[in-house]
Structure 1
Amino acid sequence: MSENTLTSGISADYAQRIADDLAANRSEQDQARAELTRLQDELIRLEEGEQILVKMQEVLGGTDKPVARKSGGRKAAAAVPAARRAKGKASAQKGADGAKSRARAGQQASASKSAAPKDAGEPTWRELVTGYLAEQREPKSAAEVTAALTEAHPQRPAQVTVVRNTLEHGVAQGLLERSKQGRSVYYSPVPAAKGDEGAESAA
């Protein structure tokens, strides 16, 4: 009977460890997807900006002037043939107009978001994260910190990416420590003595 009990306990430990690893894996997947989406949006924005700049260059420099584009850091730039440029002039105009409209809409959205009132006494993410970890007796993962902050501050929902970046900044500044258990990464406050030494070296 005792052997069965021991076996059941070991199985439960492994099951819990697998569940924790699975949660961490899914959290990292969410972070990777968010980063991929951000990069795709950034690429679209850059491509639209390129269309606008090319159009402006054609207007300012004349249609006979070749448009040079750097490629992979090479010094030599390939000139766009005049025939090809003339052929795509109409589509470039249409794309540039659409890009300008989308850029204006994006700027207005960013401005309205930036203009949103912020409470003077509202704590920063770093204050929230370090304050939460200081009250814990054991290290916590980014997903655990995110869940706890979301529950404690429902009016200010936290995102795993924001919390993870804040935690990493805390580690870089010597405020937090990073530890690894299997594939999971955990964070905890730096002891007072260690934190003082890090602050002096940073100064």
Structure 2
Amino acid sequence: MSGNLPVQSVTADYAQRVADDLSANRSDQERVRSELARLQNELVRLEESEQVLTKMQEVLGGTPKQAAKQRKAGKGAAVPAARGSNRKKTAGKAAAGAKRQAPKKTESPKKAGEPTWLELTTAYLGGQSEPRSAAEVAASLTEAHPERTVQVTVVRNSLEQGVTQGRFERSKQGRSVFYSPTAPVSVPSGS
């Protein structure tokens, strides 16, 4: 009977290893499924953003080819303030759409020197110790900047833009999405 003891021990060891490997495999599958779901959600958001930007471009009378020509010709966000107001507004909005800065499309007319939504969200999140939802960020920005019309969708687009640029990290808890800065940020002067 003592001859069977090592065989049983080896068999038990292998059975335990297989069970551990199976558990790790299942855990990895769940992790990959979770990451896949996150990426699918991100793709859906990007596609929705593309649709909004395309509609904005159509409303502004531009096509993707015209926007590219304007960028190559040096028109767009770099238009000096002294030029005609209609031309400046159209070129500025087309450039904003081309750069995928969706938050600029729905905000009230931006005064000179006023921070962008991305700058405001970056400054706000930089001062927080915990991740915040888009609704929480929008509520805080509404309180901090009553002169500006704050919309949750604009803030969410700014936060997603920040994620794309590596400024923010997105985390999900249940159905809620929270954002936090990836690195310490400096608050822009004048806000």
**Range class of TM-score, shorter chain:** 0.3 to 0.5
- The structure whose Rg is larger is 1
Give TM-score scaled by structure 2 length. Answer: 0.41
TM-score (norm 1): 0.38
Higher helix share: 1
